[in-house]
Amino acid sequence: MSRVRSAALSGVLSFSMLGLAACGSGSSDPQEGGESLSSVTIEGDQGSEPKVTFDGRLDGSKDETEVLVEGDGEEVAEGDTVKANWWIGNGFTEKEAQSTWTKDGAPQSVEMSEDILPFLRETVIGNQVGDRVVLLTSAEEAFGEGGRPDIGIGNKDAVLAVVDILGRSETVPPLDGPQGEDKKPAGWAPELVEKDGVITGLDFSTAHKPTGKLIATTLVKGDGAKVKAGQTLTVNYLGQVYDADKPFDESYSGEPAEFPIGVGQVIPGWDERLVGRTVGSRVILEIPPADGYGEQGNEQAGIKGTDTLFFVVDILGAS
């Protein structure tokens, strides 16, 4: 008999300034009056992409979780790094929204930290390696207040998630700083301002004016592994609006930041330009509004919808 339990999702993520770039029109009640989890047919072996058949739109107002395939591996705990694949469906439109099997089916490596998306915490933590877990919930509970409009899930939609827990990974300690081959940065890049060896800002006096394009230049080419979508990055970073006198956010004066990359949890420019880099790299990014916070900007950080953002990022680890 499958292990079945009602979902008790943790609260939605507390997104930092680097949080979700795409937001819906605000929180609202999930769609009610649809079908339950038992109306859905999910076929296929654990480890292969599931075939999902809907029998009417789903009701995401009552969370349901079920272990469809029981594994015999170790139980996953908070802080573990796991390899997993997942399939996400919109329970209102009855269409696939996202599948990590779409490209090459390679497992995603994700650390079970407080910063990961709630649907992953609910389907992975407390379950076992080898499990296939299905979750029916609301968009707000699965992804946060705005849902995921970038993959076709509005903040009122029901969400169906099928997650295969494929293994656990050993965690490699993050680096203390950039490590690799020094490179000459592009001429358009601002210069780093440092105090006692710590980056404190960017100097735009010799930098070009923003081009409206998403571009990057390498200061150190790391000698570590390539960053893959779905991994959790450990980075130090500093962000500054073009021609501003001081940064709007930075981590160099405190602790490095951690967040999943390539899955829509950070601004698009980060997802686009950090995936494929190597651990140990230091890069400078020029990010136009469309790849940053969009026309709405980020009022809390003092960023307008027309501002171009520059970041220096040290990639210290990927797990």
Q: Are strands 108-111 and 215-222 parallel, antiparallel or unpaired?
A: unpaired
Would you say residue 244 has pLDDT above 80?
A: yes
Residue 44 has a CB neighbour count (10 Å cut-off) of: 16
pLDDT of 23 above 90: no
**Across-strand partners of 83?**
109, 167
pLDDT digits over 251-261, tens only?
999 999 998 99
pTM of the model as a whole: 0.53
Taking only the tens place, the pLDDT of each residue in 52-93 is 999 999 999 989 999 999 999 989 999 888 989 999 999 999
293, burial (CB in 10 Å: exposed 0-12, middle 13-18, buried 19+): buried
Is 1.10.150.530 the CATH number for 180-318?
A: no
The CATH class, in words, for 4-169 is alpha beta
Residue 310 confidence (pLDDT) above 60: yes
319 vs 163: CA distance, rounded Å: 18
Same topology between domain 4-169 and domain 180-318? yes
CA 92 to chain centre: 23
Spatial separation of the C-alpha atoms in residues 296 and 94, rounded to whole Å:
30
Q: Round to whole Å and give the CA distance between 264 and 252.
A: 24
Domain extents in the chain? 4-169, 180-318
Among candidate residues 143, 116, 221, 213, the one with its CA nearest the CA of residue 179 = 221
C-beta of residue 180 within 8 angstroms of C-beta of residue 280: yes
List Cβ neighbours of 141 (8 Å cut-off, separation of 6 or more). Answer: 7, 9, 12, 60, 63, 118, 119, 159
| CB atoms inside a 10 Å sphere around CB 171 | 14
116 CB-contact burial (10 Å; exposed 0-12 / middle 13-18 / buried 19+): buried
Question: Residue 116 corresponds to which tokens in the numbers above?
Answer: 């990961």
pLDDT at 16 over 70: no
Q: Is the pLDDT of residue 38 over 90?
A: yes
- pLDDT for 111 beyond 90: no
